[in-house]
Amino acid sequence: MKRAIFRNQLLPWLLLAPQLAVTFVFFLWPAAQAGWQSFLREDAFGLKSTFIGFENYSRLFGDPHYLNSVMVTVVFSVSVAVLAMAVALTLALAADRMIKSAQTYTTLLVWPYAVAPAIAGLLWWFIFNPTIGLVPYALDMVGIDWNHSLNGTQSMILVIIAAAWKQISYNFLFFVAGLQAIPASMREAAAIDGAGPGRRLFSITLPLLAPTSFFLLVVNTVYALFDTFPVIDATTEGGPAQATNILVYKVYVDGFLGLNLGSSAAQSVVLMAVVIVLTVVQFRFIERRVEY
Amino acid sequence: MKSTGLAAGFAAGISILAMSPAFAVTEVAWWHAMGGELGEKLEAIAADYNSKQTDYKVVPSFKGTYAETMTAAIAAFRAKEQPAIVQVFEVGTGTMMAAKGAVYPVYQLMKDAGEPFDQAAFLPAVVGYYTDTDGNMLSMPFNSSTPILYYNKDVFEKAGLDRNTAPKTWEEVEAFSKKIMESGAAKCGFTTGWISWVQLENFSAWHNQPIGTLENGFGGLATELTVNGPLQTRHWENLARWQKEGLFQYGGPVGGNDAPPKFYTQECAIYMNSSASRAGVVANAKDFEVGYGMLPHYADTQPQNSIIGGATLWVMAGRPEAEYKAVANFFTYLSSAEVQAKWHQGTGYLPITQAAWDLSKSQGYYDANPGADVSIQQMTLNEPTPNSKGLRFGSYVQIRGIIDEEFQALLAGQKDAQTALDDLVTRGNVLIREFEAANK
């Protein structure tokens, strides 16, 4: 590749400056602060602070409730990603087969994406409310006692549905685009060779969709890990008995409600490490393999 | 710094243009957590004060829930943008008290500003919660309440019970609930708001059992929780059993959002919650008559006195001198009998001074509103003991969360009462030790 040579040393920096400033002010600076704070024990008002080294971290990893939160997060993220992708893929395959109403269908399916997560959470909270909700009423008729304010499993099911519902639209869009990028001639050729619809799906469509799926897997995992805070906050608030207390929510509870800033900062740093790993994975594998 | 220069220039321009007397007004920011109707009543207090004098202007702003308001004030303090007055809920008291240098104690403020201030005028049961070990008042009580018992008189009658007798003991609560359910008068016996505040903290104080060592934490940061005593265990064991039998329905964590509808829709016949819930109960109990009673106690014990909840106004340090003069002046107005009586009668919160209580009596408020004084009688039933003065622990917002979690684990059948309370104490003490280390 030919290398462009700029005489002016200052201009590129000037052009980069706004971007760099934003990165520094909104990312590097707060991240550094969190890093520093995670080594301190501090009272809420910041009047007294003591350097305590890695004590916040060692305390964290010795805390069964933190480890529980890690487990909860894994179960939650995997379930949300799998559910959101499976449903979206099914819908996308259905939409892809439609000829006349595909446009309308697609538009309708994208709507939920425009709903703010907090509103989505609240909607599901109403639908599943043990006292006034519709679903518990219906479940009661078939003999299931729905009470997610006490039953941890039901509570988890609720937040998974609420969190996945929102993400389905997003996944759907990508899957539809991915499906449309698969040349019809390949499927037709397979059909002529005698492959049935199932065979065509598993041998042609899904493998060709793999880059999209892999991309969505990472995006959905990141979404489930970090963007589901409003859903949790509006539905279960991490309860009952920490059954839905995912890592991001725990950072908020310990830092903003409990005012335990050192521990909260240490938890943020751990989360930051997770994001970095996920980003590396994304760049290493996906950027190479996804063909838009 | 540019904005200050700009503001100064702007101010200079204004002062040249119009030397109005309003320009000399000292503004005082008041951050609060009262939404809805309570918020309107609070705004009215500030508006009345502002219209009655011309030197100062109190500007209230709603900052969300109690926890959000407190966090906002603390964040503001760290950024040196704190308001002069902030409303902090009772469980934040330990944190605020430990923050010497961030708060301006009220007794000190009143003395420095030369405002007349008589601490003896306040009800001891209210003010005792907010004094230091020397008995000095650190924050200004504003909205205090205590839990009481509400019951559905019509359901009681339908079940063959006396409509004018509230259950006095837990044994009666159980017997009444059974009768109510068996007769089909209602689906459940009782429900409650605030498991932590009503069924553990107040339960302990009401039965004269210690919540923590060192006088429930009033004696210093080295305190430890002791709510896993035999009586508390017995009570939680019963609650779990009653829940299984259907006599008791759980209303959810923290304030128990699902509890009020259960009472309003006549699903549950008895309901325990804050005396400040009275307005809501009266407004929602359209199809039935409500009765009032004190909290139940176990028959083999004597009731002591209940403790308060609610919030007080803290003055934050680091504001200009003139603002503190305004704050002191406003506090004098706020604690006057007329303002307090109006606030008490309009909201169901307790009157904080003897004078406001007397004024409400002489106005005939309690004769016209039966049950409105149950809270005061219950709170002043006996001289408070070290177990029933209140409680003061650091990180208590989180400990409240732990109480809810352990109670949920108990109801879900994951733990028995003793294990739940033991775990609660162990987990709570870890937080208290951390708080002690951070504030030494």
Whether residue A38 is contained in a domain is answered as no
Task: Kindly indicate the confidence band of residue B36, based on its pLDDT and cuts at 50, 70 and 90.
Answer: confident
Q: B251-287 b/e with 16+ CB inside 10 Å = b?
A: bbbbbbebbbbbbbebbbbbbbbbbbbbebbeeebee
Angle between helices A117-128 and A152-181 (to 10 degrees): 130
Mean pLDDT across B238-255: 93
Best B68, B69, B78 member to test A by mutation, with max A CBs in 10 Å, is B78
Residue B260: pLDDT over 90: yes
pLDDT for the residue A290: 52
Low-confidence ranges of chain A (pLDDT < 50): 292
Q: How far from the centroid of its chain's Cα atoms is residue B402's Cα?
A: 19
Of B194 and B255, more confident: B194
Residue B9 has pLDDT above 60, yes or no: no
Preceding omega of A18 cis (within 30 degrees of 0):
no
How many other CB atoms are found less than 10 A from the CB of residue A128?
A: 24
The pair of three-digit structure tokens given for residue B140, joined into one six-digit string: 């200004």
pLDDT at A255: 86
- Which amino acid does the sequence have at B250? Y
In a domain, A262, yes or no: yes
Q: Which residues contact A98 (CB under 8 A, 6 or more apart)?
A: A105
Q: Is the pLDDT of residue B212 over 90?
A: yes
Q: What is the mean pLDDT of residues B134-152?
A: 92
Tokens (6 digits) for B197: 């505040």
Q: Could you give the number of structural domains in chain A?
A: 1
Q: What is the pLDDT of residues A89-130, one digit of tens each?
A: 999 888 887 767 778 888 888 888 888 878 888 888 889 887
Give the pLDDT confidence score for residue B424 in this predicted structure: 97
Report the C-alpha gap between B179 and B159 in whole angstroms: 6
Q: What is the pLDDT of residue B192?
A: 96
- Chain B: residue nearest A51 by CA? B438
| Distance between CA atoms of residues A121 and A148, nearest Å | 14
Could A45 and B99 be called an inter-chain contact, meaning their C-beta atoms sit closer than 8 Å?
A: yes
Chain B CB within 8 Å of residue A264 CB: no
Tell me, yes or no, whether A112 lies in a domain.
yes
Which DSSP letter does residue B121 get?
G
Per-residue pLDDT averaged across B379-407, rounded?
A: 90
- Which residues from A are below 8 Å from B102, CB to CB? 45, 47
User: How many residues can be counted in chain A?
Assistant: 292
> Band of the pLDDT at B204, cuts 50, 70, 90?
very high
Tokens describing residue B311: 């919030």
Question: What would the pLDDT profile of B311-323 be if each residue is shown by its tens digit?
Answer: 999 999 999 999 9
Full domain range(s) for residue A243:
50-289
Return the SS3 of A192.
helix
Instruction: Say yes or no for a CB contact (<8 Å) between B74 and A130.
Output: no
In-domain check, residue A42: no
pLDDT digits (tens, 9 = 90+) for B95-127: 898 888 899 999 999 999 999 899 899 988 888
Task: Please give the interface size between A and B, counted as residue pairs whose CB atoms are below 8 Å apart.
Answer: 86
Instruction: Please check whether residue A226 lies inside any domain of the structure.
Output: yes
Q: Which residue has the higher pLDDT, B75 or B232?
A: B232
Q: What's residue B267's pLDDT? A: 93
A131, A241, A260: residue with CB nearest B412: A241
Chain Cα centroid distance, residue B62: 18
Cα(B15)–Cα(B23) distance, rounded to whole angstroms? Answer: 8
Per CB-CB distance under 8 Å, the chain A contacts of B406 are: 241
Burial of B148-165, coded b for 16+ CB within 10 Å and e otherwise, reads bbbbbbbbbebbebeeee
- The H or E element containing residue B89 is strand B85-89
Average of pLDDT values for B198-217?
96
Mean pLDDT of chain B: 90
Q: How many CB atoms lie within 10 A of CB B80?
A: 7
**Residue A17, domain member (yes or no):** no
Domains, chain B? 2-145+309-362 (3.40.190.10), 147-306+388-439 (3.40.190.10)
| Distance of residue A55 Cα from the nearest chain B Cα, in angstroms | 11
Determine the pLDDT at residue B2. Answer: 41
CA torsion angle for A267, A270, A275, A277 (degrees, to 10)?
A: -170
Structure tokens given for A163: 């969190």
| Position A29 in a domain | no
Q: Which of B337, B287, B35, B264 is nearest to B345 (CA)?
A: B337
The CATH number that applies at residue A264 is: 1.10.3720.10
Asked if A272 and A34 count as a contact pair (C-beta separation under 8 A), the reply is: yes
Instruction: Answer yes or no: is A263 within a domain.
Output: yes
Distance CA A271, CA A252 (A): 12
